[in-house]
Amino acid sequence: MDHIHKKAIDPAKLDAVIGRAVADLSAGYGGVMVSLGNRLGLYKALAETGPLTSRELASRTGCAERYVREWLGSQVAGAYATYHAISDTYELTPEQAFVFANEESPVFIPNAWAIPASMWADEMKAVEAFRTGKGIPWGDHDGRLQCGIAAFYGNAYKASLVPEWLPALTGVVDKLKAGALVADIGCGYGHSTVQMAEAFPASTFRGFDTHGESVIAARKVAAEAGVANRVSFETASASTYPGTGYDLICFFDCLHDMGDPIAAAEHAAKAIAPDGTVMLVEPFANDRVEDNVSPIARMYYAASTTICCAHAISDGGRLVLGAQAGEARLADVFRKAGFTRFRRALATPFNLVLEAKL
């Protein structure tokens, strides 16, 4: 630290660092309020009515007024709700309601806060992992991780997967309409599998994941959606799952979590039909650290540190890509596995959608 102390501190630059750090700290406190507002139905009650006093909101939600009033203050301070001083009432704009009250919205954010909540709960596991270099399996995390990912990503997939991502792949939608065999690897709770099954009734879908509890949850999701006759889920690893002749093999936000992504791609090369397609959806990233400087990259690097890298290490750790691998490294994995064609089908601020063919 001595060399730092000897340098003069520039007050303006210090202000900028403090401002940034305090804004982030404020967001961390705010996340707890978002989760409470969601669990207690506070956002929903606000969204369903016009402006409400704290007393009215408390009575509609069966909560104690004093707590509700303080919570409302936090929402106004963070620009998550709007306050009318003259009537002492609070309301959500349509945009605020879309983000905080509408569970079907692709940007419904409360579920996403379950992920950092799980990271805090597992902090000491991460401390241990940093010191020992050992991994943390996906299933060893606080349960809010798996539920949070499933709920948050499930909504995002609903808005993008069938309407935008599949049509960006060459010829895949026509095959799915006609009747294709699809594998969803690392399927988690199976929201992606089930959404595709709902959209393409002539096709058959098989989801695989190493996490047994997720597979059980996925079966439930399929049964509730009424597609269990065409959708099956099994506990299996990306490098050993059964079946051949798949027209489409999907990896949604999971290849970088695997301990041996090249083995997973090699297995896909054996399991895929000659003209089949691999659909690889990964967190958006550029290829170089210096080009991954944004709130989204920061979020992904953080989750990658304690979740993605930690799982990949626990899963053998032959190649630990991390959630900010970038297209060049991902392409390399598929080239090494024998795929000759690899292209970016599309990119969003959150995701890269990539296509690989033999």
Ligand X SMILES: C[S@@+](CC[C@H](N)C(=O)[O-])C[C@H]1O[C@@H](n2cnc3c(N)ncnc32)[C@H](O)[C@@H]1O
Which of 182, 258, 268, 309 binds ligand X (CB under 6 A)? It is 258
Residues between 136 and 155 with contacts to ligand X, criterion CB under 6 A:
138, 149-150, 153
Q: Are 344 and 352 in contact (CB under 8 A)?
A: yes
Which of 206, 211, 219, 267 binds ligand X (CB under 6 A)? It is 211
Piece of the chain touching ligand X by CB under 6 A; list 10-18, 28-36, 115-123, 210-218: 210-218
Q: Say how far apart CA 64 and CA 69 lie, in whole Å.
A: 9
Does position 187 interact with ligand X (CB under 6 A)? The reply is: yes
Toward ligand X, which CB reaches closer, 171 or 242?
Answer: 242
Does position 355 interact with ligand X (CB under 6 A)? The reply is: no
Beta carbon of residue 304, minimum distance to ligand X (angstroms, whole number): 10
Toward ligand X, which CB reaches closer, 61 or 214?
Answer: 214
Does position 122 interact with ligand X (CB under 6 A)? The reply is: no
**Which of 188, 314, 312 shows the shortest CA–CA distance to 253?**
188
Using alpha carbons, list the distances in angstroms from residue 210 to 31, 139, 205, 315, 316.
Answer: 31, 9, 17, 10, 13
98 HSE (CA, 13 A, CB side):
5
Residues between 218 and 257 with contacts to ligand X, criterion CB under 6 A:
237-238, 252-254, 257
Q: 243: which residues sit within 8 A by CB, 6+ positions away?
A: 181, 183, 206, 271
Piece of the chain touching ligand X by CB under 6 A; list 100-108, 111-119, 181-189, 266-274: 181-189
Does position 315 interact with ligand X (CB under 6 A)? The reply is: yes
Beta carbon of residue 257, minimum distance to ligand X (angstroms, whole number): 4
Judging by beta carbons within 10 Å of its beta carbon (0-12, 13-18, 19+), is residue 86 exposed, middle or buried?
exposed
| Pairing of β 351-357 and β 341-347 | antiparallel
| Tokens (6 digits) for 303 | 């989750």
Q: Are 161 and 345 in contact (CB under 8 A)?
A: no
Piece of the chain touching ligand X by CB under 6 A; list 124-132, 173-181, 208-216, 270-278: 208-216
Write out the residues near ligand X by the rule CB under 6 A.
138, 149-150, 153, 185-188, 192, 209-211, 214, 237-238, 252-254, 257-258, 311, 315
